Amino acid sequence: MSTLAYIGLGANLGDARQTIEAAINTLCESSGILTLRQAPLYSSDPVDAQGPVFINTVVAVDTTLEPLPLLDLLQTIEQEHGRERPYRNAPRTLDLDLLLYGTLTIETPRLSVPHPRMHQRAFVLRPLQDLAPALHLSQGSFSALLADCRDQKLQRLVD
């Protein structure tokens, strides 16, 4: 049995676009990931942080992994790409966030699902809407949530 999960990807150090593409390839090849669909790439200014422009996307995966093993996989991929955590919201080579895991609500010291700030981030909402326009978020509709984020610069990238 598999679960549909959504993962946010972002990077703003090094060749961010190439890093995200490599991380997606690694996910596709990982045990426990059955299928993967990717939203378009977007560029966005950092939110609540400083540093270069981010490249962001969201992927939907059908996975047989439980939430914590999926989180472990995401953190391993981050580490393979040199992720460091010197301080909160620091620039990063790669950030992988488990946004949604089926319909589960999880609140542990290691993992909060749904992601607690995704409804405040245009760089998550827009690609998530691209992948799953009928998805219902408890915080409101995509249009209302994106309207609340209208001050966040976001631009879809062309292939």
Catalytic annotation, residues: 83, 92, 95, 97
54 CB-side CA count, 13 A: 28
Strand partners, 37: 60
Structure tokens at 73: 């996989």
Q: Residue 35 in contact with residue 61, Cβ under 8 Å?
A: yes
Q: How many CB atoms neighbour CB 70 within 10 A? A: 25
- Rounded CA separation 137/116 (Å): 12
- Verify cis geometry, omega within 30 degrees of 0, for the bond prior to 114: yes
